Amino acid sequence: MPTIQDHTMRFNSVTEKLPKHLHKFIVQQPYEDYTAQNQAVWRYVMRLNVSVLKHTAHKSYIRGLKKTGIDEELIPKMEGMNRILKDIGWAAVAVDGFIPPNAFMEFQAYNVLVISSDIRTIDHINYTPAPDIIHEAAGHAPIIANPEYSEYLRRLGEIGCKAISSPKDHEMYEAIRLLSILKENPNSTVKEIQEATKAVNLLQEEMGGLSEMAKIRNLHWWTVEYGLIGTLENPKLYGAGLLSSIEESQLCLKKEVIKIPYSIEAAEVNFDITNTQPQLFVIPNFASLSFVLEKFANTMAIRTGGLEGLKKLIISEKLGTIELSTGIQVSGTFNNVLDSSNTPIYFQTNSPTALSVNGKELIGHGTEHHPSGFGSPVGKLEGINIAIEDMSPKDLEVYGIIEGKTTCLNFEGGVKVEGKIITGKRDLQGKIILITFKNCKVTHFDTVLFDPSWGIYDMAIGKNISSAFAGPADSNSFEDIYTISDTKTAKIRYSDDEKKLHQLYETVKNHRTHKSIDLDSLAIIFKEVKSNYPSEWLILLELYELVYDKDLSLKSEIYEQLISLKKNKHFSKLISDGLDLIIKK
């Protein structure tokens, strides 16, 4: 897999802070693969959007375009963006389409935008179901120049990457990734798209209750992607999905799209990534985003912990972490919890497990020490008001919790730990966080939880579970935290005719950029397009722009062909908007 070190791209001080487990998602931007038609699509969308958005977008957008180095004429190069983004504390990296939600959020937590390096095809110029560089670079990057919004985006990533998902979430991610790839690739068959659409629809019906990740993705969608700001009567655009879509940037402000004041309830509202949105949420100002986010975070297991938090991790079937009241953190795949009176009394993992404090692995307690899992009681000893963690050295001696002594610890709820104490670990404040036994047997009534023949037993200390969250406490404890999808974005295969068309686009672009217009050459291009590519409208607009200020028959011929193509409902508004751009210029 590629890593940051493999890239010729120059990374800045921001991307250097990315943890190694995120490196595998980074790909080299395939700039040489962009065709001249791709460049024309970028130019058309950007020029049209900017002409509209200077009136309808939040004022930070147009300012941000200049600050982030986004140019209307050419698809941006990641190196150039990074040189400029560094000045506002951010960076950008190229990825292959959708990446796992937790990974996506974690990039944001490190102030890094993930940018899908593909660009929408001309058939999806209005709106694309797949993430593309227009959406990512021209949609997301400009708004982060606003400090309040930038901090919200970072904080959303920081909280979101700890959100616990469900197995269905991963299935949905894979299904949507496949559907978006197929829909955007012109080489896909109708049958492939139909089957992928059916799979997404079936999953939608089977999702059940929303996980934390599903809810945080909803908040992300209704703000970062499709957010409006201002008043319900006169809102402005700030969401990247709106800022990068010709169609939705104009439709979203119409009365038919319901406007709702943004609140924590948006977390319960699902979205359909393949269609335009029937309702949108409006914030009064960027500061309100962080207010709602913190309100939502207070409902998450990372802050509430307890039995419910641990059960969320068990349901997720993924690597997660619980933190006990002493601060000791247990990271692994949790598979079992025993409870009494709705309070956890014993937990277990069934995978390589690591123990940490403050996000740093405890020496001698990595996955190599706990390769098959880990289990430990939680709570107080039966009949004793003071918890082990709060005991003074004298208390510990009184209750037989001292090195070299064989002891029997009866916990509330029926868990019993019998064995000889070898040693204990304390935190910097002297609070005991871990006790190690030999010849140890752990039972819950008649059920054996740990047998002496299994070796040394480590018991984490804590009277309760204060936090539960997705991922490890220390990312260095695990080699593979996220999985890269087996579904790859396929490189588009162009026919010989399409390649010839792209060469015509290249010739037109050279006329414009070099400002040396050869009218005979343009006439030949027009004739070839009209004869061999009768439904091609964008190159005609580029030709028309070059001859617009000239009194030539060629100008009239191109215009007539464009008007003829306007009879096709799919091209009508695109052509009209393109002509308006030329006239205004």
What mean pLDDT is predicted for residues 60-82?
A: 86
* Residues 172, 34 within the same domain: yes
- The H or E element that residue 198 is part of is helix 190-206
What mean pLDDT is predicted for residues 574-579?
A: 94
pLDDT at 135: 84
CB-based contact 413:379 (threshold 8 Å): yes
* Residues 77, 115 within the same domain: yes
* Residues 332, 234 within the same domain: no
Cα–Cα distance between 121 and 128 in angstroms, integer?
A: 8
pLDDT at 9: 46
Residue with the bigger pLDDT between 197 and 298: it is 298
* Residues 348, 394 within the same domain: yes
CB-based contact 323:355 (threshold 8 Å): no
Q: How confident is the model at residue 11 (pLDDT cuts 50, 70, 90)?
A: low
Domain, as residue range, for 501: 496-584
**Domain contains 156:** yes
Cα–Cα distance between 339 and 29 in angstroms, integer?
A: 51
Of 314, 309, 276, 252, residue with least CA distance to 464: 309
Instruction: Look over the chain and give the mean of its residue pLDDT values, rounded to a whole number.
Output: 91
Q: Which one of 294, 315, 331 terminates a domain? A: 294
Tell whether the model's pLDDT for residue 551 goes beyond 80. no
- The predicted-structure confidence for 411-470, as pLDDT tens digits, reads as follows 999 999 999 999 999 988 888 999 999 999 999 999 999 999 999 999 999 999 999 999
Cα–Cα distance between 318 and 290 in angstroms, integer?
A: 28
* Residues 431, 547 within the same domain: no
pLDDT at 252: 92
Q: How far is the CA of 406 from the CAs of 172, 219, 445, in angstroms? A: 52, 53, 20
Tell whether the model's pLDDT for residue 17 goes beyond 70. yes
Range with the poorest average pLDDT among 24-33, 310-319, 340-349: 24-33
CA 270 distance to own-chain centroid: 16
**Domain contains 482:** no
* Residues 446, 507 within the same domain: no
pLDDT at 470: 97
Range with the poorest average pLDDT among 43-52, 74-83, 121-130, 551-560: 121-130
Of 472, 470, 494, residue with least CA distance to 212: 470
Cα–Cα distance between 442 and 454 in angstroms, integer?
A: 11
* Residues 414, 536 within the same domain: no
**Domain contains 343:** yes
**Domain contains 385:** yes
Largest CA distance in the chain: 104
* Residues 91, 138 within the same domain: yes
* Residues 110, 182 within the same domain: yes
Q: How confident is the model at residue 181 (pLDDT cuts 50, 70, 90)?
A: confident
- The predicted-structure confidence for 334-358, as pLDDT tens digits, reads as follows 999 999 999 999 999 999 999 999 9
Tell whether the model's pLDDT for residue 555 goes beyond 70. yes
First-to-last alpha carbon distance for the chain, in angstroms, is 46
CB-based contact 427:286 (threshold 8 Å): no
**Domain contains 315:** no
Note the pTM of the prediction, 2 decimals.
0.88
CB-based contact 177:98 (threshold 8 Å): yes
* 435: three-class secondary structure by DSSP: strand
Cα–Cα distance between 376 and 389 in angstroms, integer?
A: 14
DSSP per residue, 368-405: TTSSS--EEE-SPBTT-SS-GGG--HHHHHHTT-STT-
Cα–Cα distance between 184 and 133 in angstroms, integer?
A: 13
- The predicted-structure confidence for 473-521, as pLDDT tens digits, reads as follows 999 999 888 888 888 887 888 999 999 999 999 999 999 988 778 899 9
Phi, then psi, of 331 in degrees rounded to 5: -115, 125
pLDDT at 274: 67
Q: How confident is the model at residue 333 (pLDDT cuts 50, 70, 90)?
A: very high
pLDDT at 70: 84
* Residues 148, 281 within the same domain: yes
Phi, then psi, of 101 in degrees rounded to 5: -55, -45
Cα–Cα distance between 193 and 59 in angstroms, integer?
A: 39
CB-based contact 297:159 (threshold 8 Å): yes
C-beta neighbour count of 554 within 10 angstroms: 18
- The predicted-structure confidence for 154-180, as pLDDT tens digits, reads as follows 999 999 999 999 988 888 888 888 888
**Domain contains 128:** yes
Of 497, 561, 507, 502, residue with least CA distance to 535: 561
Q: Is 89 left (phi over 0), alpha (psi -120 to 50) or beta?
A: left
**Domain contains 487:** no
* Residues 341, 443 within the same domain: yes
Q: How confident is the model at residue 3 (pLDDT cuts 50, 70, 90)?
A: very low
pLDDT at 232: 96
Of 215, 226, 83, residue with least CA distance to 143: 226
What mean pLDDT is predicted for residues 553-568?
A: 94
* Residues 457, 524 within the same domain: no
Q: How confident is the model at residue 10 (pLDDT cuts 50, 70, 90)?
A: low
CB-based contact 353:370 (threshold 8 Å): yes
Q: Which one of 467, 488, 513 terminates a domain? A: 467
Tell whether the model's pLDDT for residue 8 goes beyond 60. no
**Domain contains 477:** no
**Counted domains in the chain:** 3
Tokens read off for 313: 């991790």
